[in-house]
Chain A
Amino acid sequence: MTGQQKLRVFLGAQLLFFAAWGAWLMYSRSAASAEFALDTVPVDPRDLASGTYVALNYQISSPEACRPLLEAGAAEAFVELKDSGRRQNTAAGTLPVYQAAGCAAAPGAGVWARAEIYGGFAGRINARYGIERFYVNENDPLKNSAAGSVAARVKLGRGNRLTILGLEKKI
């Protein structure tokens, strides 16, 4: 096989990777799970490769229940999310607000979100769910959302990964 032929095979592998990844992301998003809201604290950074986004921090971003797992050296955990009983009115409708209720090395029955866990400043525990960024257009007023004025509309995707569907103004 010549160098050019090898490079063509490699190009095929690159295309296959991006096609498969895109298909998986679309499939994951189509999971038949309920939508719910998470309270947010947005800021406004941007990223050279992807553009402007709203960086989001959640109440569930510091799950104290995961501390034993972190101290045991775990890098991943499943955080149990439960309906807090509160309801949030948004432009997309009224959604139940969920909060962290537990943490385990494996998911149980109910809504268990997969998270990367790591230690933070002054003993704080951090969890990353993959919903910490919401990309917006340069001119989107959401870019300048004040802290607490928006809620993230999310659902549980395939593989217990949280998927962010929208960032909604609280009404």
Chain B
Amino acid sequence: MAYFKKLKADLAAAASGGIITPEQADKVWQDAYARRPMAGFKAVHFIAAAAGLFIALGFILVAAHNWDKLGAMLKMGVFLLLLAGVAEAALRLDEKPAAAIPLETLWFFMPILGIGLYAQIFNLSGDPVKPYLAWAALSAPLALLSRRPLAASLNSILLFTVLFWGTLNQASLLSLTSGYGRPPQPLWHWAAALAVLAAGAALYPGRKTGLPLGAACVWTFIMLAADTALKTGSGTLLLMAGMSLSVLWLAWGGPADELRTGLPLKIWLGSVYMMTFFWHHTAGARELFHGATWAGAVAAWVLFAGALLTIALRGQRLLPGGKQADMISKLLLAVSVLSSFLLFGADDVQLKVLAALANFILIAYGAACIVGGSENADEKAINRGVLVITLTAITRFVDLFGGLLASGEAFIVTGLAFAALAYFINKGRKALIEAAKK
């Protein structure tokens, strides 16, 4: 959605600058917006999709109630007729979204209903992941050939869910975690897991570097933390890898010249915010992990190198403004990644320096947002900067004085202080926005 806001702003600027006419700007925007993923998918369609799901569940309940009266051939025959009927109806009513969307949803779910039905008839069991992978494979052509992005979105969500569940499950063909007393998982499981990851990203109907890249980063981080062949076995390497992954998603999560405001930015800010709590750690408590693997260490260093190269070579737009803002962005990102080095052989002082650096990054980002927002009439940037600084200040206040909140009076005083803070922040924010507008 950020892309469309930017496109609209750019077109309005082009129209006001006389490059194109306002009518042309409007038509270009209307055309681009109509072709966005999930275009035309309104509330009524969500309700219609839910209707499809409920119909499917209703069929299951009715069949279950009369189950013992039906023979195996009859059950399979009815299922095949239903599958053919639903799919044919979805194809014939393709032009009518209110009918086609629930039918296509039902068609998407039919293979897993069929697999469940066959499992029940023949008392099948086995690898818990296989039926879901078979479902994804059976529905992949629908996802690829349908002109709506619905089946592709559902299939992609299914594959990513199977990836997370299957790799953390300890008895499936995707299992990557071992656990106490268990032998290591075969290496070919990695090939299967990576194939599922690639298929999930390939089927995703929107930008592959958006949510799929984020899901891949989160999955990689879990694999580095869990008891897998990629286990880092070190809090330091894990922090380095985690910060590198958050920077990689932030940097590659959109076009290089697009101002970052979405989920990747929140994840990166959240990661830096978590680092501020190293203030409370002691040097003895920092290494809680055992069983390091060389592959995990190599992966952490590769991610770290990738993050640094990305920061150096790719444009970074965390802040509104020109080249100076981009340089500040690069500096903040680099500090966030490099500060994890402070955990190597850390003593209590280094841990406090790490926490102070994280606070500095947040305050610097907030201040740069406010300044950049004021200079570029970007109201949202000002609000974002004020929010980051306020949250950091409140957290530190609770950190420092939380222990003194031992009485009702102290709570009242704190509440009044927060109310005054909110009043003055809001007043300052409004003044900045007004000044920016002038």
Question: Interface size class for chain B?
Answer: 35 or more
Say which one of A35-43, A91-99, A127-135 lies at the interface with B: A127-135
> Binary interface profile of A, 83-121, with partner B (CB < 8 Å = 1, else 0)?
000000000000000000000000000000000101111
Q: Indicate if B438 sits at the interface (CB-CB under 8 A).
A: no
A29: nearest chain-B partner, CB-CB: B122
Q: Indicate if B115 sits at the interface (CB-CB under 8 A).
A: yes
Most buried by A among B67, B84, B118, B122: B122
Could you say which of B80, B126, B186 contacts A116, with CB atoms under 8 Å apart?
A: B126
> Binary interface profile of B, 140-155, with partner A (CB < 8 Å = 1, else 0)?
0110011100000000
- Point out the residues of chain A lying under 8 angstroms from B67, CB to CB: 51, 137
- Point out the residues of chain A lying under 8 angstroms from B180, CB to CB: 121-122
- Point out the residues of chain B lying under 8 angstroms from A31, CB to CB: none
Are A10 and B145 in contact, with the CB atoms below 8 A? yes
Q: Report the bound CA distance from A3 to B123 in whole Å.
A: 37
Q: Indicate if B120 sits at the interface (CB-CB under 8 A).
A: yes
Are B122 and A126 in contact, with the CB atoms below 8 A? no
* B 331-360 contacts with A by CB, 8 A: none
Number of interface residues, chain A, beta carbon within 8 A: 47
Q: Indicate if A34 sits at the interface (CB-CB under 8 A).
A: no
Are A123 and B84 in contact, with the CB atoms below 8 A? no
Are A4 and B171 in contact, with the CB atoms below 8 A? no
Q: Report the bound CA distance from A164 to B178 in whole Å.
A: 30
- Point out the residues of chain A lying under 8 angstroms from B111, CB to CB: 14
Could you say which of A70, A120, A124, A134 contacts B123, with CB atoms under 8 Å apart?
A: A134
* B 39-80 contacts with A by CB, 8 A: 60, 64, 67-68, 72-73, 76, 79-80
Q: Report the bound CA distance from A7 to B92 in whole Å.
A: 11
A13: nearest chain-B partner, CB-CB: B141
Are A26 and B72 in contact, with the CB atoms below 8 A? yes
- Point out the residues of chain B lying under 8 angstroms from A14, CB to CB: 83, 87, 110-111, 138
B171: nearest chain-A partner, CB-CB: A118
Q: Report the bound CA distance from A123 to B175 in whole Å.
A: 16
Are B181 and A50 in contact, with the CB atoms below 8 A? no
Are B84 and A11 in contact, with the CB atoms below 8 A? yes
Are A47 and B122 in contact, with the CB atoms below 8 A? no
Q: Indicate if B117 sits at the interface (CB-CB under 8 A).
A: yes
**Minimum Cβ distance to chain B for residue A17 (Å):** 7
Query: When A and B form their complex, which 10 residue pairs have the shortest distance between CB atoms, in order from nearest?
Result: A49-B116, A122-B181, A133-B125, A50-B116, A119-B183, A10-B141, A132-B125, A135-B120, A11-B87, A22-B76
Besides A15-B84, A47-B116, 5 other CB < 8 A contacts? Answer: A7-B141, A11-B91, A49-B131, A51-B60, A118-B171
